[in-house]
Amino acid sequence: MPTDPQKLSIPNIAEVLPASGGLPAVRVTTKNAAGTIYLHGGHVTSWTPVGNKDVLWCSQKSNYEAEKPIRGGVPICFPWFGKKADDPTGPPHGYARLMPWELESINHQDGEVTVTVALKNNDAGKKWWPHDFIIRHRVTFGRELAMQLEVTNTGHHPFTFQEAQHTYFAVGDVRKVRVSGLAGVNYRSDIDGSLAKPRPGDILITAETDRIYLDTQAPVVLEDPSLNRRITMNKLNSKNTVIWNPWIAKAKNMPDFGDDEWPEMICMETCNVAEFGPKILPNQTHIMATRLRVDPL
């Protein structure tokens, strides 16, 4: 029997409560940071280190409902990314973000709170993907945000999967930000599927941008002069980085994304996608992680 999530609350530090749409979430408040993780999707929606505005962005139009993804924060894409390769009717970015995860533990130490949530494959999931797994998201809210995604093969056969921590960052104006760390890296553009020539220099967002950077584990740095901050995203065991902003037309076509919200966000995604999806044997665990830090410019 899963533990009653309320029993894991730490008074005034990490409270389990009904959040938007009545979905259960853990709300963390310490001397170093505030943050929120929903059990729905194992989804972090907020991280505000002391003295900063929220580092993560969520749409005003987001759904907060069973079986629908939350638009913003850190959706977990698993066990596939984008369209399901062998079945176009499969939910985009997999089904982990559509399901309720179980709250396993909450630990508090020295102003840092680690919340661990987990999802096991179940009958609803096996309709789409037959493999036995448990996926855990272990999230530490502190001066830094550390998010570790652990996929364990609990079945008898090897399997290959794709995964992403699809982080939406709040920015003052996406047209003014600079993203560094990906200069010279090959990328595939998801807009036309083409493999584009690597470009030198920082990335500037001047149009719809949807790129999978290939075979790069490098840290990515987002400089935002409007909010006067630099966000550093370190990755572990992630061979791809996706950079996404929908720009004007695509924003208008997404019902859960405000028409005028596109300048306020950029996605920089820690992931293993396409042919980079990891393969794990029975009893093996694959760990991928993201660590975020904020500094003034």
Which sequence positions are flagged as catalytic? 166, 269
Question: Could you say whether residue 166 binds ligand BG6 (CB under 6 A)?
Answer: yes
Mask for 74-93, x = binds ligand BG6 (CB under 6 A): ------------------xx
Question: Could you say whether residue 269 binds ligand BG6 (CB under 6 A)?
Answer: yes
In terms of CB distance, is 138 or 166 closer to ligand BG6? 166
Question: Could you say whether residue 210 binds ligand BG6 (CB under 6 A)?
Answer: yes
Question: Could you say whether residue 163 binds ligand BG6 (CB under 6 A)?
Answer: no
Which residues on adjacent β-strands are paired with residue 43?
38
Question: Could you say whether residue 224 binds ligand BG6 (CB under 6 A)?
Answer: no
b/e map 22-54, b = 16+ CB within 10 Å: ebbbbbbbbebbebbbbbbbbbbbbbbbeeeeb
Phi, psi of 267 (to 5 degrees): -95, 135
What residues have CB less than 8 Å from 8, skipping those under 6 apart? 14, 16, 103, 105, 106
Residues across the chain? 297
Least CB distance to ligand BG6 at residue 64 (A) = 15
Residue 106: half-sphere exposure toward Cβ, Cα within 13 Å: 27
Question: Could you say whether residue 242 binds ligand BG6 (CB under 6 A)?
Answer: yes
In terms of CB distance, is 274 or 280 closer to ligand BG6? 274
DSSP type of residue 2: P
Compute the distance between CA of residue 118 and CA of residue 150 in angstroms, rounded to an integer.
9
Do the beta carbons of residue 180 and residue 220 sit within 8 Å? Answer: yes
In terms of CB distance, is 54 or 269 closer to ligand BG6? 269
Question: Could you say whether residue 261 binds ligand BG6 (CB under 6 A)?
Answer: no
Least CB distance to ligand BG6 at residue 128 (A) = 15
In terms of CB distance, is 116 or 162 closer to ligand BG6? 162
How many residues of this chain interact with ligand BG6, rule: CB under 6 A?
9
Least CB distance to ligand BG6 at residue 11 (A) = 35
* Residues in 29-48 that interact with ligand BG6 by CB under 6 A: none
Tell me which residue of 2, 74, 79, 44 sits closest to 242, measured CA to CA.
Answer: 74
| Residue of 129, 244, 247, 262 that binds ligand BG6 (CB under 6 A) | 244
Compute the distance between CA of residue 188 and CA of residue 245 in angstroms, rounded to an integer.
15
Question: Could you say whether residue 136 binds ligand BG6 (CB under 6 A)?
Answer: no
Compute the distance between CA of residue 141 and CA of residue 182 in angstroms, rounded to an integer.
27
Least CB distance to ligand BG6 at residue 95 (A) = 12
> Interface with ligand BG6 by CB under 6 A: which residues?
69, 92-93, 166, 190, 210, 242, 244, 269
